[in-house]
Amino acid sequence: MAIDKGFDLVVILILAMLTALSSPRRRLRGFVVPAGQDGEMASSVSGAAGGLVRMVVHAVDTAISADDVATYGTAIARLATEPAGGRVLGDVLRSLLEDTHPDGFSSDDITLVVGRCYRAAVAWLPPGRVDVTMLLAALAGALGIHEPGITYEDLDLPRSNADEHRDPDGTVPVRPPAWPDYAWHAPLLVADLLPFAPATLAGYLESTFAEYAREAREEPP
């Protein structure tokens, strides 16, 4: 059966996200860092990774402030030059989802998170710059359904139009997301979830990079 509307794609993404959360997978939790230390976190990560951390922190901090469109645009433009940020944001997002929903992530939770994030974002970002489907795609990437920088073609979904889906009322085209779109939307989700999390952004970033270091050490020579 062909998918004619963006709504159908949203339903598929929701079902896939619920399946991903119910599947066994390594859990990467953030650890608590005292408030106010996020700005110092990059000093513990050296080289190019430290620069990437600063980009992520700047983007998320600006999203949390929710009052400076120009600064957010600049932060995201810088972040979008580093595709590796997709993995970092995805891992941080997954940890946030797990820590803020320890009893599981239901369809109601997905609706709550995406709706809350969308409402907060459109209160300060320009109209048309916040896409609900893109927020869902960012969550899907975080849960390992497809890679950050994702395209819907990678999901191999049937469709009647090869170029675009449309939303339920047929007015808004739903474009295949690319890394710059992911980079724009993922920090909004991180900013939305952090107030409910047991750790700061610094904690999640440190545990994420500690896991990367462990994986590198365990790689065969």
Per residue in 85-126, pLDDT (tens digit) is 988 999 999 999 999 998 887 778 888 999 999 999 999 999
Q: Which of 76-80, 117-121, 172-176 has the lowest mean pLDDT?
A: 172-176
| Angle value at C-alpha 61, between 103 and 132, nearest 5 degrees | 60
Asked if pLDDT for residue 130 goes beyond 90, the answer is yes
Are 145 and 156 in contact by the 8 Å Cβ rule? The answer is: no
69 residue type, one letter: V
Burial of 17 from C-beta contacts in 10 A (0-12 / 13-18 / 19+): buried
Is residue 203 scored above 80 in pLDDT?
yes
d(C-alpha 205, C-alpha 95), whole Å: 10
For the chain, give the percent of residues with pLDDT over 70. Answer: 62
Residue 217, classed as helix, strand or coil, is: helix
Mean pLDDT of 144-153: 48
Cα separation, 88 vs 210, in Å, equals: 12
> What's the confidence (pLDDT) of residue 97?
92
Give the highest mean pLDDT range of 18-27, 29-38, 54-63, 174-183.
Answer: 54-63
57 vs 101: CA distance, rounded Å:
23
Give all strands (DSSP E) within 83-212, no chain letters: 165-166, 173-174
Residue 186 in this model has a pLDDT that exceeds 80: yes
State pLDDT tens for residues 13-31: 555 554 444 443 433 333 3
Closest Cα to residue 57, out of 190, 149, 179? 190
Average pLDDT taken over every residue of the chain: 74
Contact call for residues 172 and 76 (beta carbons, < 8 A): no
DSSP 3-state of 174? strand
Alpha-carbon distance 155 to 133, whole Å? Answer: 14
Question: Is pLDDT of 220 > 60?
Answer: yes
Is the distance from CB of 66 to CB of 120 less than 8 angstroms? Answer: yes
Residue 144 CB-half CA count within 13 A = 14
What's the pLDDT band for 45 if we cut at 50, 70, 90? low
d(CA 55, CA 59): 6
